[in-house]
Amino acid sequence: MEQRRSPGEDRAIAHHEAGHIVATRMLDVRMEKVSMCPTNDTNEAEVASHSVVWATRNADRSVQLEALETEAKIALAGPFAQLRHEPCETETKKLREANCTAMRSEWKKDIKDARLLVIKAVRLNADTTSSLSDFEIGEVRADPAECERLYARFCNETEALITAEWCAIKRVADWLERHRTITQTKADKLIFR
C-alpha cells in the first residue's frame, strides 16, 4: 500500500521522475510507462524503460560505451531534476562527489546505478579484450581517477540536459502529479511540443 506523502513530497518526486523521463526520451531510449505510485517493495516510483546496455551487450565497443553513458545519464537525471526543483548547494555537491555516500535516501539507487555504469565504462574502455557480456554481476574494478573524471563529465552533461529541457520536465512533472502515471506517447506529446 502506498504511504501518504505531503503535496511537497509528491511535487519533488514528480520532478525527480520527470527528469528520468525527459532524459530517457531526449537520449532516444524507449520507455513503457512511469508511475508515481510505488511499484516495488521499497515504496518507490519507477521508470519502466528499455535497457540500452542490455540491448547492446553484443555490439561493438563504441556502441557499448555509448549505451553505458546513456543509462548513467538517465540515472543521474532524476536527482538533478529534483535539485533544480528544490535547489540545495550542499546536496548538489554531494551528488557530484563520485564516492559520497551521505546523500538523500531516494537517490541511493540512482547514484549506485550511475556509479556502476561508470565503472563498467572505464573498465570496458581500458580492457580491449572484454565486452559487456563478459562482466559478471558483482563488483567490477576500474581506475578510480578515471571513474571520478567520467562521473564528473556525466554529471556536467546531465545537469546541462536538465537545464536545457527544464520546461519539458515541468510539463511532465505537472502531468505526473495530477495523473500519477504517464506513457511514452503522452510524455512525447509533453516533451516534443
DSSP 135: P
Identify the residue with better confidence: 189 or 38: 189
Query: CA of 189: how far to CAs of 13, 31, 88, in Å?
Result: 21, 14, 31
Predicted confidence at residue 1, as pLDDT, reads: 43
Average pLDDT over residues 86-103: 78
What are the extents of the domains in the chain? 7-191
Domain 7-191: assigned CATH number: 1.20.58.760
> Beta strand pairing status for 46-49 and 181-183?
unpaired
Average pLDDT over residues 141-162: 94
Predicted confidence at residue 45, as pLDDT, reads: 61
Q: Of all residues in the chain, what percent carry a pLDDT higher than 90?
A: 56
155 HSE (CA, 13 A, CB side): 18
Predicted confidence at residue 137, as pLDDT, reads: 47
| Torsion region of 43: left, alpha or beta (phi above 0 gives left; psi -120 to 50 gives alpha) | left
Q: Helices 144-164 and 89-96, interaxial angle, to 10°? A: 130
> Locate cell 563478459: which residue?
134
pLDDT in tens, 6-49: 888 899 999 999 999 999 999 999 998 888 766 555 556 655 56
CA–CA dist 103, 155 (Å, integer)? 15
pLDDT in tens, 153-175: 999 999 999 999 999 999 999 99
Predicted confidence at residue 89, as pLDDT, reads: 86
Q: For the chain, what's the residue count?
A: 193
Mean pLDDT check: name the lowest of 80-84, 121-125, 151-155, 165-169. 121-125
Predicted confidence at residue 131, as pLDDT, reads: 63
